[in-house]
A and B are shown apart, each in its own frame.
Chain A
Amino acid sequence: MTRRLSRDAAWPLALAAWGVLAIVLVFAQSGVWTTALVTIGFVLIAPGAALLGLSGIRDGAAMLATSIGASVGLALLIPSLLVYAHAWSPKGALLILVGLTETACALWLVRSRGWRRGA
């Protein structure tokens, strides 16, 4: 059971760690190339992957495609809402995306533990 739980936990933990790393790099103002690679990669994949993972959708390429679509959609919508609300804040938008990802990953972990216990 422990092995299965840790395998289930790998993806949400990795996505959550990616978000934390992105925040650390952005706020520490480290090298732009590293920050760009980690942050843009995170923004384009992780929020959608976390939300889909939470809903229990796992389907290889389809999940990746949907994750990319959802992530790009969120990364486009959240900063746009801030712009139209006259509250433009790129770092604020990133914090919202990371917060969304961390929350979804936490719930994903809780759900996977619950499923295992019930199984």
Chain B
Amino acid sequence: MSSTTHLRPLELLTARASASRLDGATWASLSLLLFASAYFITSLADVNLDAMTDIGLASVLPPRMLAAYALLPPAFCLALRSGRTWLVLAAVVITVMLLFGVAVLVEPTVRFSVSWRHAGIAQVIQSTGAVDPRIDAYFNWPGFFVLTAFLADVSGYANPIEIARWTPLVLELLYLPALLTIGKALTDDSRMLWGGVWLFYVSNWIGQDYFSPQGLAFLLYLCTLAVLLRWFQYDSRRSSRIPETLATLQSRLLSMASRLVGSKADLAPSAPPTSAGQRITLVLVVVLLFVAVVGTHQLTPIALLLSVTSLVLVRRCALRGLPALLAILLGTWLVYMSVAYLSGHASDVTGKIGAVNQNVGSNVSGRVKGSDGHLAVVYLRVAVTLVFWTLAMMGGLRRFRLGFVDRALVALAMAPFPLLLLQSYGGEVLLRVALFAMPFMALLAAALFFPTLAKGRSRGTLVIFGLVATFLLAGFVVTRYGNERMDYLSPREVAGVEALYRIAPPGSVLVAASNAVPWRYTGYANYKYKRLTGINRVKYQVVVVPADESTSIDIGTASSRLIVQQVAARMVAPNRSQRSYLIISRSQKADLDMFGPWRRNSLQHVEDVLRRSDRFQIVFDNGDATIFRLADPTSQPQ
């Protein structure tokens, strides 16, 4: 018997629900959502950001806000039980707003120092109207920066940082229609669909939705897959025009699958009928989306290519030539538009291809370090991700045992993993793989509780789902905002950086202890930027200053003179006309306390030493940010 005969469309459920009066579950869910919203809003003013510890925002959330979060899982479960689409949608939207809006609402400035740097790149384009790929790698993939420069300019802002603050919340809400479309294309069961979408949000701690190319590229990734899954299902009645080798590979894969599972059917709700004109429009939209994603981000097009190829291989996408077209577009961009970057970094890009152990190792071991509080956050992130993936695997197995082979769903959940073979992506490839797989893992995880319309209808199932969801949501609050002590940039720090740009003439050398500083949002290419700490740890007691700027200076010495000498040496300006400034700020201290490479409170020690030194002059100090000027920026260390 075909699996689809077990299923009734979503509309049947919702029609039945809307025909009846509001029942107890509906009222209870509505009440909980209202209470959660009220608790959340009234507790915003009680968040004391200055008291944050190394476990991040969770350490300063008031009890009423935690209560608001605790009400969300039962509210969602009751909404699901009521069967009313509008209520489930409201529960999801309120969950998104409370989870992703909290930092936006309690922090008066744009969080995350990288957002400020991205705004600076967009500001270069906004002010010059040009893309200079020689400035740095970002300008080789300028799509996001051109878009934000355009949006800031037409909105009347002189700098794109002004539109950056609400980005995480806006992006997460923009993901929702695509997630729903993907879910609806992969299951007829509304509980699996909504449960999957809700699990996606409460598990999405990865935090790539800030003002960044990857946040936008993920939206384009979801939209592309939504279009393909919704409208371009494979039609076996059409004659095959694909190359023979691909056809052979397809049929071998599928025959292997059918041998494994016998005659069990794949679940694929039928695509709505479309005219030839509509299909042409939709193909053009897919091509447009891919061109946009190729010009926006380095990694996402490769993930998308893998996902589309996997859909073609499992016969879930009728556009069988699409992977070839996408590969050509990607190759063309790499060859013609990013040549300035690739010509100098070919070994960085290709050097770790196939070194999966090294790539994964650098992603794991590189992150399991730091203060005790931060380590607790890291371990929780690992645990939550493993639990989430385990739920997904169990969900897939349960569906399989019940006679469903979700080829497309499993293929899309697994498609991003070959990215681990390519490179470590600065120690982030595992995070990105987890993100690209997350929408599909979430649907599989929901399938564990709601495997068919007939099963998982008991109150007990909803209670278990609610408990698991509560665990994931509780984890979210810690894992998502676990770096917030560093990611939060106080208004006084921002004022300090504004003062830095007022004081330092263009061409000056600007130095910070770490990257956690809200700078480069202006004057991106007009200053020489340096850091006291780099990606390379200090391996020796320094007497001479490391020439390599990616190496941290060594402050493990009792000698104040040596510390002054090293800081001054890092600040040396190439010529006499240049000045040199060092800014030390609150979030840099948090960064170094949490992640190293120095011992806790070391930056405060450096600051105290510099305050006493006659080689440095304090030109600005507001408590959260101090700016030092090097008295003679061209003199070499003594």
- Taking a contact as CB atoms under 8 Å apart, the answer to whether A77 and B291 are in contact is yes
Given A73-B285, A86-B129, answer yes or no on A65-B180 (Cβ-Cβ < 8 Å): yes
- Are A59 and B149 CB-contacts (below 8 A) given A32-B157, A51-B281, A69-B289? no
B285 and A69 within 8 A (CB): yes
Q: A62-B181, A62-B184 are in contact. Are A91 and B292 (CB under 8 A)?
A: no
Query: Which B residues lie within 8 Å of A86 (CB)?
Result: 129-130
Contacts of B224 in A (CB 8 A): 69
**Interface: B177 (CB within 8 A):** yes
Residues in A neighbouring B155, C-beta threshold 8 A: 26, 32, 35-36, 39-40
Smallest CB separation, B171 vs chain A (Å): 10
Given that A62-B226, A70-B285, A73-B292 are contacting pairs, would A80 and B143 also be in contact in the complex, using a CB cutoff of 8 Å?
Answer: yes
Which B residues are in CB contact (< 8 Å) with A55? 277-278, 281
Chain B residues contacting A44 (CB-CB under 8 Å) are 174
Q: Which residues of A contact B390 (CB under 8 A)?
A: none
Query: Which residue from chain A places its CB closest to the CB of B155 in the assembled complex?
Result: A36
Residue of A32, A59, A77, A90 with highest tally of chain B CB at under 10 A: A90
Known: A59-B272, A76-B146. A69 touches B156 (CB 8 A): no
Rounded to whole angstroms, the CA-CA distance of A52 and B181 in the bound complex is: 16
Within 8 A of A (CB), among B136-170: 142-144, 146-147, 149-151, 153-157, 162-163
Query: Are B288's CB and A94's CB within 8 A?
Result: no
Instruction: With both chains docked as a complex, state the minimum distance between the C-beta of B269 and any C-beta of chain A, in angstroms.
Output: 12
B151 near A43: Cβ-Cβ < 8 Å: yes
Nearest Cβ on chain A to B295's Cβ, whole angstroms: 6
Find out whether the CB atom of B147 lies under 8 angstroms from the CB atom of A72.
yes
CB distance from A25 to the nearest CB of B (A): 9
Instruction: Please state if A36 and B163 are interface contacts (CB–CB under 8 Å).
Output: yes
In the complex the two chains form, is A59's CB within 8 Å of B146's CB? no
From A62, A65, A80, name the one whose CB has the most chain B CB atoms within 10 angstroms. Answer: A65
B282 touches A66 (CB 8 A): yes
Q: How long is the Cα–Cα vector from A35 to B350 in the complex, in angstroms?
A: 45
Point out the residue from B219, B274, B295 that lies within 8 Å of A72, measured CB to CB: B219
Q: How many residues of A contact B (CB 8 A)?
A: 41
**B223 interface contact, C-beta 8 A:** yes
Contact pattern, B 259-291, Cβ under 8 Å of A = 1, otherwise 0: 000000000000010110110011001001101
Cα–Cα distance between A40 and B272 once the two chains are bound (Å): 31
The yes or no answer to A2 lying at the interface (CB within 8 A) is: no
A residues within 8 A CB of B128?
Answer: 88
Residue A68 interfacial (CB < 8 Å): yes
A2 to B42, CA, bound (A): 49
Instruction: Please tell me which one of the listed residues B151, B181, B275 contacts residue A39 in the complex, with CB atoms under 8 A apart.
Output: B151
Residues of the A chain whose Cβ atoms lie less than 8 Å from the Cβ of B545: none
Contact of B288 among A59, A70, A84 (CB under 8 A): A70
Q: Kindly supply a per-residue 1/0 record for chain A positions 21-52, scoring 1 wherever the CB is within 8 Å of any chain B CB and 0 otherwise.
A: 00000100100100110011001100010011
For B291, list chain A residues within 8 Å (CB).
Answer: 73, 77
- A61 & B180 in contact (Cβ 8 Å cutoff): yes
Partner of B150, one of A32, A57, A66, A90: A90
| Chain B 222-243 residues near chain A, CB threshold 8 A | 222-224, 226-227, 230-231
Assess the A76–B143 pair: CB atoms within 8 A.
yes
Is A20 an interface position by the 8 A CB rule? no
A52 CA / B272 CA spacing, docked (Å): 15
Residues of A near B151 (CB, < 8 A) are 36, 39-40, 43, 75
Q: Give CA–CA (A19, B594) in the complex, Å.
A: 48
Classify the interface of chain A: helix, strand, loop or mixed. Answer: helix
Q: How far is the CA of A103 from the CA of B224 in the complex (A)?
A: 25
Could you tell me if B154 and A90 are in contact, using CB atoms closer than 8 angstroms? yes
Tell me if B220 and A72 are in contact (CB < 8 A): yes
Considering the chains assembled together, what is the distance between the CA atoms of A65 and B176 in angstroms? 8
Bound-state CA distance A61–B182 (Å) is 10
Chain B residues with CB under 8 Å of A40's CB are 151, 155, 163
A68 contacts B177, C-beta separation under 8 Å: yes
Is B334 interfacial (CB-CB < 8 Å)? no
Check if B408 is an interface residue, CB within 8 A of chain A.
no
Query: Does A83 touch B at the CB level, under 8 Å?
Result: yes
Would you call A93 an interface residue if the criterion is a C-beta within 8 Å of the partner chain's C-beta atoms?
yes
Residue A64 interfacial (CB < 8 Å)? yes
Q: Which B residues lie within 8 Å of A26 (CB)?
A: 154-156
Instruction: Tell me whether B376 is interfacial, beta carbon within 8 Å.
Output: no
The smallest beta-carbon distance between B184 and chain A, in angstroms, is 7
Do the beta carbons of A69 and B163 come within 8 Å of each other? no
Given contacts A40-B155, A43-B151, A68-B177, contact A73 B288 (CB under 8 A): yes
- Contact partners of B153 in chain A: CB under 8 A: 90-91
- Whether A57 contacts B178 by the Cβ 8 Å rule is no
One of A39, A69, A74 near B178 (C-beta < 8 A): A69
Bound form: Cα–Cα A24–B147 in Å: 21
| Complex interface bits, B283-308 against A, C-beta within 8 A gives 1, otherwise 0 | 00100110110011000000000000
CA distance A89 to B281 in the complex (A): 27
A76 touches B129 (CB 8 A): no
* B387 interface hit (Cβ, 8 Å): no
Question: Once bound together, how far apart are the Cα atoms of A74 and B287, in whole Å?
Answer: 11
B residues neighboring A (CB under 8 Å): 125-126, 128-131, 142-144, 146-147, 149-151, 153-157, 162-163, 174, 177-178, 180-181, 184-185, 216, 219-220, 222-224, 226-227, 230-231, 272, 274-275, 277-278, 281-282, 285, 288-289, 291-292, 295-296
The 9 A-B pairs at the shortest CB distance, nearest first, are namely: A88-B129, A69-B223, A90-B153, A36-B155, A65-B177, A64-B177, A73-B288, A65-B178, A79-B150
Q: Given contacts A43-B151, A74-B288, list 10 more A-B pairs with CB under 8 A.
A: A26-B154, A26-B156, A40-B151, A64-B177, A66-B226, A69-B227, A73-B292, A77-B292, A83-B131, A90-B126
- Can you show 26 pairs from A to B with CB atoms below 8 A apart? A26-B155, A29-B156, A32-B162, A36-B156, A55-B278, A57-B281, A61-B177, A61-B181, A62-B177, A62-B181, A65-B178, A66-B223, A69-B220, A69-B227, A70-B288, A72-B223, A74-B288, A76-B143, A79-B149, A79-B150, A83-B129, A83-B130, A86-B129, A86-B130, A90-B126, A94-B154
- Residues of chain A touching chain B, judged by Cβ–Cβ distance below 8 Å, are 26, 29, 32, 35-36, 39-40, 43-44, 48, 51-52, 55-57, 59, 61-62, 64-66, 68-70, 72-77, 79-80, 83-84, 86, 88-91, 93-94
